[in-house]
């Protein structure tokens, strides 16, 4: 890390930007600003402090483990850590043990990132993406239920029958616009439309096609969730949109080369993600765990793996998003 561009500070900022597949320090600054804005609006700063702590610990762990230098510099070991750092304070009450849990969780997310690279990425070209965050988040929040020293606040076990009913209601235009941006903000677990707008701006700073895919993914998810009559409270919080946003970006722009066929494929993947979001909501309710970005992760794994079966679709662009040196 001799280059001044590659100092620890910039590497961490790139790590933040990689949550949306970008490798751009300015985008990272905007993403952290979006988290800070939501903290400011809510008057609670634990998520912002957690984000910074998780980002630093995850990146440091990668350095100490002696993993591939190029991957570290690209920020590929930071983005799962920042998500762990935002997620744990969202679901666990603030306390000294919470910060200990974030440190352990962020370090674990780096170990799992390296494992994903050495297994599914190496053998099958499937990027680990935010899978390590999802697994870490589930393990840590579930552990918090069993530990007296960690208090779960943000969620609770529900009966599966709570989901048996849905209702038909179409939100007003201002509501629809707010949902459009919350769908993007919720990738960072932020139910805040302004934060979502800042994040979308951050994506456009780094890549216009990626920004466009994010916007279209949010729109498709919005329409699909309302037509299928998903729980209006969840829809209005952006909870049916954040995974589809990531799917639209990943399948439509980031991991496959955009073409007419790929756009249709990404549209199918985006709709499938809305269905899988609904599945996860039902299946995880009895466990009292949020689904995090798992619906995106499962969809993306399933839709990216068969790329060798799709000879006409070039997919070189995936290379730079994979961990190197394995």
Site residues for a copy of itself, 173-202, by CB under 8 A, read: none
The span from the CA of 190 to the CA of 181, in Å, is 10
For a copy of itself, the binding residues in 287-326 under the rule CB under 8 A are 287-288, 301-303, 305-313, 325-326
138 binds a copy of itself (CB under 8 A): yes
Query: Out of 87, 107, 178, 297, which residue is the one contacting a copy of itself (CB under 8 A)?
Result: 107
Q: How far apart (Å, rounded) are the C-alpha atoms in residues 1 and 40?
A: 34
Alpha-helical (H) ranges within 20-78 are 25-42, 46-65, 69-73
Please report how close the Cβ of residue 104 comes to a copy of itself at its closest, in angstroms: 6
Q: Which of 104, 45, 53, 42 shows the shortest CA–CA distance to 78?
A: 53
Question: Mind giving me the DSSP string for 91-126?
Answer: HB--SHHHHHHHHHHHHHHHHHHHHHIIIIIHHH--
Q: Residue with structure tokens 């995880």?
A: 284
Q: Does 166 bind a copy of itself (CB under 8 A)?
A: yes
Nearer to a copy of itself, 34 or 224 (CB): 224
The candidate with the shortest Cα–Cα distance to 238, out of 182, 301, 297, 164, is 182
Which is nearer to a copy of itself, 208 or 261 (by Cβ)?
261
Per CB under 8 A, does 223 bind a copy of itself? no
Query: Is 271 an interacting residue with respect to a copy of itself (CB under 8 A)?
Result: yes
How far apart are CB 204 and a copy of itself at their closest, in Å? 30
List binders of a copy of itself among 55-94 (CB under 8 A): 64-68
Kindly write out the interface string for residues 16-55 of this chain, putting x where it contacts a copy of itself by CB under 8 A and - elsewhere. Answer: ----------------------------------------
The reply to whether 96 sits near a copy of itself by the rule CB under 8 A is no
CB closer to a copy of itself out of 128 and 211: 128
| Contact flag: residue 281 with a copy of itself (CB under 8 A) | yes
CA distances to 114, 142, 209, 255 from 119, rounded to whole Å, are: 9, 25, 30, 18
204 or 275: CB nearest a copy of itself = 275
What's the min distance (Å) between Cβ of 210 and a copy of itself? 23
Q: How far apart are CA 248 and CA 235, in angstroms?
A: 18
C-beta separation of 252 from 263 below 8 A: yes
In a 13 Å sphere around the CA of 181, the CA atoms on its Cβ side amount to 18
Interface region with a copy of itself, contact rule CB under 8 A, candidates 49-57, 147-155, 181-189, 252-260: 147-155
Taking CB under 8 A as the binding criterion, the range among 80-88, 115-123, 175-183, 202-210 that sits at the site for a copy of itself is 115-123
Site for a copy of itself contains 278 (CB under 8 A): yes
By the 8 A CB rule, do 68 and 223 touch? no
Answer whether 102's CB lies under 8 Å from 283's CB.
no
Q: Which of 52, 139, 201, 212 binds a copy of itself (CB under 8 A)?
A: 139
**Choice between 179 and 200, CB closer to a copy of itself:** 179
Closer to a copy of itself at the Cβ: 39 or 71?
Answer: 71
> Bridge-partner residues for 152, per DSSP?
92
Instruction: Give kind and range of the element (H or E) at residue 243.
Output: helix 242-249
Among 200, 264, 181, 273, which Cα is nearest to 230's? 273
The stretch among 15-23, 28-36, 162-170, 198-206 that binds a copy of itself (CB under 8 A) is 162-170
Work out whether 245 is an interface residue with a copy of itself (CB under 8 A).
no
Q: Is 233 in the site for a copy of itself (CB under 8 A)?
A: no
Cβ-based neighbours of 302, under 8 Å, separated by 6 or more: none
């Amino acid at each position: 890390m001799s280059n001044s561009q590659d100092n620890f500070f910039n590497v961490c900022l790139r790590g933040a930007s990689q949550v949306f597949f970008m490798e751009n320090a300015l985008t990272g600054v905007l993403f952290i600003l979006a988290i800070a804005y939501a903290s400011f609006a809510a008057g609670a700063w634990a998520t912002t402090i957690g984000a910074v702590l998780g980002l630093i610990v995850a990146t440091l762990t990668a350095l100490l483990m002696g993993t591939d230098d190029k991957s570290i510099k690209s920020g590929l070991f930071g983005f799962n850590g920042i998500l762990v750092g935002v997620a744990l304070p969202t679901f666990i009450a603030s306390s000294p043990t919470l910060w200990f849990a974030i440190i352990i969780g962020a370090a674990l997310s780096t170990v799992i990132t390296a494992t994903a690279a050495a297994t599914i990425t190496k053998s099958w070209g499937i990027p680990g993406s935010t899978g390590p965050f999802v697994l870490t988040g589930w393990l840590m929040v579930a552990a918090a239920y069993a530990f007296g020293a960690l208090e779960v606040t943000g969620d609770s076990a529900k009966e599966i029958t709570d989901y048996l009913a849905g209702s038909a209601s179409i939100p007003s235009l201002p509501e629809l616009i707010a949902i459009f941006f919350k769908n993007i903000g919720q990738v960072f677990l932020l139910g805040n439309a302004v934060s979502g707008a800042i994040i979308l701006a951050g994506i456009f700073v780094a890549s216009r096609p990626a920004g466009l895919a994010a916007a279209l993914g949010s729109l498709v998810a919005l329409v699909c969730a309302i037509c299928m009559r998903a729980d209006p409270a969840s829809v209005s919080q952006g909870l049916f949109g954040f995974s589809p946003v990531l799917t639209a970006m990943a399948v439509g722009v980031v991991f496959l080369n955009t073409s007419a066929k790929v756009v249709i494929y990404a549209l199918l993947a985006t709709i499938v993600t809305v269905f899988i979001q609904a599945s996860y909501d039902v299946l995880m309710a009895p466990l009292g765990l949020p689904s995090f970005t798992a619906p995106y992760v499962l969809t993306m794994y399933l839709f990216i793996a068969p790329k060798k079966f799709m000879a006409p679709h070039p997919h070189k662009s995936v290379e730079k998003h994979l961990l190197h040196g394995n």
